[in-house]
């Protein structure tokens, strides 16, 4: 088997007497579609925060493509190939959609220090931004401020920003949260169309989406991994049933 594109090794996080994640070890290969599930308070978001660099683990380590990134900043991890979306949208409400994607491309290319040059001086980046938005069905709204978009469309813009970074690993924290049922189909189609070599880890409470999207599922309970397997294996695992029934 090839080297994991993402690996956590015995990640622990404590806040005083509160033990939030416990010895969490997992691996992802290029192209993986992994769902992280568990009862409320299981430590899922804390684990993803440790992977992305917004939370420092108490012990353990995070590896990207064979490199230890545990002490690297979130921005450094992004440059190493890790992108993430959040439960709540973090878009600039008044900035045009395409300009936000262009700024992500600017960051990827290391051009944020070129403050003396306008973004418009880089037509190739503008064309790439238009292409990304077109792939996600947002081409007609490229000039709109994000506050004019439906919530499901805003989620698609967040996905465009993440993909603009050309990540090797994409972390999706509850992508369907707050999306009305009528808008969910477009987001599901976008998830299905993600690049096949991209490793995707998704946190999601919608079990229909989990079992539709994931090829492998990791279950957390009280901060520890209690199961790791295919969707069929997880469906029949008595430990998983007990964790959810206990909730």
Q: Read off the pLDDT of residues 16-58 as tens digits, 9 standing for 90 and up.
A: 989 999 999 999 999 999 999 998 889 999 999 999 999 999 9
Domains in the chain: boundaries: 6-246
CB atoms within 10 A of CB 17: 5
Residue 197 burial (10 A CB sphere; 0-12, 13-18, 19+)? exposed
- Taking each helix axis from N to C end, the angle separating 151-164 and 97-108, rounded to the nearest 10 degrees, works out to 20
Class of the domain covering 6-246: alpha beta
Residues facing residue 171 across a β-bridge: 84, 201
Report yes or no on whether pTM surpasses 0.75. Answer: yes
186 in Cβ contact with 20 (< 8 Å): no
Contacts of 129 (CB under 8 A, 6+ apart): 98, 101, 102, 105, 142, 164
pLDDT digits (tens, 9 = 90+) for 131-159: 999 999 999 999 999 999 998 899 999 99
3-state helix, strand, coil in the chain (%, to 5): 40, 25, 35
């Amino acid at each position: 088997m090839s080297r994991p594109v993402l690996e956590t090794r015995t990640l622990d996080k404590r806040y005083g007497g509160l033990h939030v994640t416990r010895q969490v070890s997992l691996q992802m290969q290029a192209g993986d579609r992994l769902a992280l599930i568990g009862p409320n308070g299981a430590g899922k978001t804390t684990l993803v925060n440790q992977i992305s660099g917004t939370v420092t683990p108490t012990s353990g380590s995070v590896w990207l493509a064979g490199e230890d990134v545990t002490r690297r900043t979130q921005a450094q991890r992004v440059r190493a190939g890790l992108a993430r979306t959040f439960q709540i949208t973090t878009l600039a409400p008044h900035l045009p959609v395409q300009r936000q994607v262009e700024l992500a491309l600017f960051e990827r290319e290391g051009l944020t220090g070129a403050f003396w040059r306008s973004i418009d001086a880089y037509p190739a980046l503008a064309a790439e931004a238009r292409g990304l938005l077109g792939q996600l069905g947002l081409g007609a709204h490229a000039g709109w401020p994000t506050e004019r978009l439906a919530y499901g469309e805003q989620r698609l813009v967040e996905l465009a920003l993440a993909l603009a970074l050309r990540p090797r690993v994409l972390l999706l924290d509850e992508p369907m949260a707050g999306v009305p049922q009528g808008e969910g189909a477009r987001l599901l189609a976008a998830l299905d169309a993600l690049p096949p070599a991209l490793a995707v880890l998704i946190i999601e409470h919608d079990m229909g989406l989990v079992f539709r999207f994931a090829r492998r599922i990791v279950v957390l309970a009280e901060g520890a991994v209690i199961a790791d397997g295919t969707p069929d294996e997880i469906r029949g695992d008595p430990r998983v049933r007990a964790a959810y029934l206990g909730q």
